[in-house]
Amino acid sequence: MPTMMNKIKQELKEAKKDMEEVVKEVKKEAKGYCPKENAKKAESIPQIGWQEALKEHATGDIIMHHGTGTNSRNMQKAMGCYYSHTAMLLRSPPKDILQLYKVEDCPSDTYVWEVTAQVKGTRIVPWLKWIAAETERNGDKYIYVWRHLTGISSQAQATIYTEVRNLESLEYEKSQMQMIKALVHANDNDDMSSAFCSEGVAHIYKKAGLLPSAVITSNQTTADFSHYYSNADLGDQLQQGSLAPEVRVNVKNIQWPPA
């Protein structure tokens, strides 16, 4: 028993040291973060109207936004990115998926799939409803961007839907260590026992064959999904299809329910 206890103590000591090193690296990365410069970059991104975006929405499209809450600002600083959340669009998904997630039909037939702390897991929300809620929650400084996915196979799309079904009961990330490590790509393997927002989307992309098998999904942050804020844009790593650079979408005056 003493030998086992000594082993446990040693492992805990090493884990603490590991955590301290990772936190030190994250603080180093965040030191040069300039909110004003990042905001200027976001504001310089090309912008389109939401009606135009809605016409082109496709399953697998990536959406990200700039949250204005304290937790969102902390994540933005740690990532060096103006966005704090990643989600994925579903266009005309199979009805059984909507039933599984207990979602009402939406006239636009476009939905947001996300892993979020708000419900401590996954959910699907009609896009118009999601945008209306986030705009109200984040205020006038809210910025929403969209990356359009094109050219994927029917098999890849089918796999996306399969994984959305499989992840219905997925819980929001429980490991603070894993989230901190992701900021400096220090996780050694995929861990989907629970997941944070961008990790869930990366997992689906990998399962669908869009991302290489070597990509560790537990290291993929919102910044990695950005064309403008990432040092290694995941869009450049796709094995099929094309992910357009993000564009800002003017989402003002969206109402739910639709008039």
* Domain residue limits at 141: 32-250
- Answer whether residue 16 is part of any domain: no
- Tell me which long-range contacts 95-102 makes (C-beta under 8 A, separation of at least 24): 96/165, 97/124, 97/161, 97/164, 97/165, 98/124, 100/165, 100/168, 101/168
- Answer whether residue 18 is part of any domain: no
- Give residue-wise pLDDT tens across range 29-39: 544 556 678 78
Per-residue confidence band for 163, with pLDDT thresholds at 50, 70 and 90: very high
CATH code assigned at 218: 3.90.1720.10
- Answer whether residue 24 is part of any domain: no
- Answer whether residue 69 is part of any domain: yes
Q: What value does the mean pLDDT of the chain take? A: 89
b/e code 237-259 from CB counts within 10 Å (16+ = b): ebeebebeebbbbebeebebeee
What total of structural domains would you count in the chain?
1
> Which position has the higher pLDDT, 17 or 181?
181
Percentage of residues in the chain having pLDDT higher than 90: 69
The 10 Å Cβ neighbour count of residue 113 is: 27
Residue 59 has pLDDT above 80, yes or no: yes
- Tell me which long-range contacts 113-116 makes (C-beta under 8 A, separation of at least 24): 113/87, 113/88, 113/89, 113/164, 114/85, 114/86, 114/87, 114/88, 114/197, 114/200, 115/167, 115/170, 115/172, 115/173, 115/195, 115/196, 115/197, 115/199, 115/200, 115/201, 116/85, 116/87, 116/172, 116/197
What pLDDT score was predicted for residue 68?
80
Which whole number is the average pLDDT over 101-111? 92
What pLDDT score was predicted for residue 30?
47
- Answer whether residue 23 is part of any domain: no
> Which position has the higher pLDDT, 258 or 168?
168
What pLDDT score was predicted for residue 11?
52
Nearby residues of 242 by Cβ (< 8 Å), 6 or more positions away = 149, 150, 151, 235
What pLDDT score was predicted for residue 123?
99
- Answer whether residue 58 is part of any domain: yes
What pLDDT score was predicted for residue 8?
47
Which whole number is the average pLDDT over 10-36? 54
ω into 94 cis (within 30 of 0)? no
> Which position has the higher pLDDT, 226 or 40?
226
Nearby residues of 115 by Cβ (< 8 Å), 6 or more positions away = 121, 122, 167, 170, 172, 173, 195, 196, 197, 199, 200, 201
What pLDDT score was predicted for residue 151?
98
What pLDDT score was predicted for residue 257?
87
- Give residue-wise pLDDT tens across range 84-99: 999 999 999 999 999 9
- Answer whether residue 170 is part of any domain: yes
What pLDDT score was predicted for residue 12?
47
Residue 114 has pLDDT above 80, yes or no: yes
Per-residue confidence band for 6, with pLDDT thresholds at 50, 70 and 90: low
Percentage of residues in the chain having pLDDT higher than 70: 86
Which whole number is the average pLDDT over 197-205? 99
- Answer whether residue 199 is part of any domain: yes
Residue 24 has pLDDT above 80, yes or no: no
Residue 212 has pLDDT above 50, yes or no: yes
Residue 148 has pLDDT above 50, yes or no: yes
